[in-house]
Structure 1
Amino acid sequence: MNIIRVSIIGFGAVGQGVAEVILKKMDYLRDLNLEIKVVAVVDSRGAEIDTEGIDLAKALERKRSKGTVALVDKTGLDVIKNIEHDVVIETTPTNIDDGGAGLRNMLEAFRQGRDVVTSNKGPLALKYTELVEAANSSGSKFRFEATVGGAMPIINLIKGVLAGNEILSIQGILNGTCNYILTRMLEEEASYEQMLAEAQERGIAETDPTYDVEGIDAACKLVILANSVFGMNATYKDVDVTGISKITPESMILAYNDGYVTKLIGEVRKDLLCVAPRLVPIGHPLSVGDTLNVASVQTDLAGPVTITGRGAGSIETASAILSDLISISRNMNE
């Protein structure tokens, strides 16, 4: 049995989703001759550490009943520096200002020679090149499928299945909250404010929705694609960004009557980084509704390849993290 020892740094929705997925997939992993042993879990109030492997069911129960998993007063950096393990699963909240704890955690993990799997967009949107260089210099693996599109496997699709193709452009809906609001505005012929309130009531939009509705989240994901796929050295500040808060139902109805739906589209190619509302023909592959994400990858050999999936959700995002973990474990044994 191949054992991969991991820490989960950040035990909010995504971190808990990772724990749930590992528990759910134990038999599947065993069939792959793989055991994922979680030796540390850290949240904002402390940590649980057990080098023999944490009981994840009990950790989840304690988090949900007490609001913290903490049994000892240790930080993510303490765990990364001092607890022997193979992979740091970094799922702390995104910080677009300076990268926050996530950036510090990833850089320290690479200094310690540990691999990193992350869902945290902020550090990659600000310091992608620095992170990749740090990983390369320490011989660490760096996987971040979960940062773009949740369960929609766009990075691994491009790097794996579409290897050998030149990627000419990527267009897509990269934020499920905006897509939900725009879908509902058209369905109900209702205002942005009304449908934002509905999205917040359903837990689809945050109490402070700025990050989503002003296009910041989509722009961060676009930067990650620009750097990882096109080899750019872009940051969030390089993206031309327009959000959805100024869109009216009247304009959407007029467009619909002409055969178009209004969508927040991100586009990257070698001379363009842009997030903005656009008119998409009804029935076009990019005209998906509700909270779905979609990306259309234009290639030189395969033509356009379009992929759709759930762009958010703790289990959906955790599925991408699990995929990256399995990929790392296979590389360890080659």
Structure 2
Amino acid sequence: MNECKVIIMGFGAVGQGVANAISLKKDMIKQEHNVEVKVVAAADSSSSAICADGLDEQLLVSVKNDNGSLASYPEYGSDVCGIDVLDSVEYDCLIEATPTNIEDGEPALSLTLKAFEEGKDVVTSNKGHLALFFKDVVSAAEKNNVQFRYEATVGGAMPIINFVKDTLSSCKISSIEGILNGTTNYILSRMTSEGSSYKDILHESQELGIAETDPTQDVEGIDAACKTVILANSLLGIDATYSDVDVEGISNITSQAIELAKKDGYLIKLIAEVSPDNLKVSPRLVKQGSSYDVNGTLNMATVHTDLAGDVTVVGLGAGSLETASAMLTDLISILKNKY
């Protein structure tokens, strides 16, 4: 039986989702891939739990939820945090789920590069360091001969990066267009169905936990722009960073504008366009009943190919376990390649 020791850095909704997903699927991974996955460390911004023999994933989640800190984990809780966690225990793969930082990509950038330098594989859900330094990060993985997977950075549970690279590997991709942010899609969907104002629906989505307390990254199109950069680099080979994307959010969309569009058979959606000529995120009119007519927190993307024509994928773009499903799939891909 092979063993894979993982560290989960970042223990908010996504990190906890990963712990839950490993708990649910570790027996399946053992049976189907002959690998035992052990979480040897989990850390939030100020605390951690560390044990070389493995931690209880469910206990990690309940301790964090009950105490707001991993330091209370029985026997193995500590105040070791940040990059020091990577020096505290032997591990094989870093699962990086710290919050996205579009200013300098930290702490994801330093954590990822350190893991690479030490010959460790990395799975990330973090968009910041990739939107700013995609080429450098991917080159560092190649230079150190390690595996780097980032499916969860775009579209949560919606398959897009691995899908295009594996399933559409015979095709040349000319462009991609889609809805890459679940929060804004929820807000626009609700404004369309209810005729309510942007402000009212934003407030409601914050109460439901769909929008963040500070919703700027979502509603101003920043999150979708980061994903645009990642798709441009990884699937179209465009050497782009965040500053190359033309970005406009949804905060100026009125219920009157949505009503007018509806009368003519159209919807307003926040659309990301990824092509060699255009990297853009902006509200656009799309036809009712078209592939862009998806509601709630769903994401979708249409991939324009030379051989397969247009291929559209749809999936849940947000959620703890949903995003974790993409990260666990990436981890399984790494294990398949290794063993």
Deviations for 1:13-66, whole angstroms, at most 9, x for unmatched residues? 100100001111122112212211111111112221111111222222211111
Distance 2:58 2:248 in 1: 43
Which position in structure 1 is the counterpart of 2:59? 58
| SS of aligned partner of 1:25 | helix
Give the total of aligned pairs: 333
In 1, Cα distance between equivalents of 2:207 and 2:88: 42
Q: What amino acid is the match of 2:204?
A: E
TM-score, normalized by length of structure 2? 0.96
Give structure 1 regions of 4+ aligned residues with deviation exceeding 6 angstroms: none
Give SS of 2:70's match.
coil
Letter in 2 for 1:13: A
Note the C-alpha offset of 1:165.
0.2
In the TM superposition, residue 163 of structure 1 has moved relative to its aligned partner by 0.4
> Secondary structure of the residue that 2:107 maps to in structure 1?
helix
| Aligned residue type for 2:5 | R
The farther-off stretch of 317-326 and 224-233 is 224-233
Give distance in 1, aligned partners of 2:251 and 2:65.
34
| Unaligned runs of at least 5 residues, structure 2 | 72-76
Identity %: 56
Map of 2:45 onto structure 1: 44
Give, in whole Å, the separation in 2 of the partners of 1:137 and 1:98.
22
Q: Secondary structure at the match of 1:100?
A: coil
Deviation at 1:82, TM superposition (A): 4.4
Q: How does 1:249-288 map to 2 (within 5 A)?
A: 249-288=255-294
Q: Secondary structure at the match of 1:94?
A: coil
Structure 2 residue aligned with 1:178, among 175, 184, 187?
184
Alignment correspondent of 2:74:
none
1:180-234 CA-partner distances (Å, limit 9, x unpaired)? 1111111111111111111111111111111100000000001000011111221
Aligned residue for 1:9? Answer: 9
Letter in 1 for 2:300: V
Residue by residue over 1:114-134, the C-alpha shift from the partner in whole angstroms, topping out at 9 and shown as x without a partner, is 110000110100111110111
Q: Which residue of 111, 125, 141 maps to 2:117?
A: 111
CA RMSD of aligned residues (A): 1.0
Q: Give the counterpart letter for 1:47 in structure 2.
A: S
User: What TM-score do you get using the length of structure 1 for normalisation?
Assistant: 0.98
Distance in 1 (CA, whole Å) between partners of 2:78 and 2:186 is 41
Write the letter of the residue equivalent to 1:41: A
Structure 1 residues without counterparts, runs of 5 or longer: none
Tell whether 2:239 aligns with 1:230.
no
Mapped to 2, the partners of 1:27 and 1:81 lie a distance apart of: 28
Q: Distance in 1 between matches of 2:50 and 2:148?
A: 23
After superposition, residues 274-313 of structure 1 pair within 5 angstroms as: 274-313=280-319
Distance 2:50 2:288 in 1: 52
Of 174-183 and 33-42, more deviation after overlay is shown by: 33-42
Looking at structure 2, the residues matched to 252 and 66 of structure 1 have their Cα atoms a distance apart, in angstroms, of 44
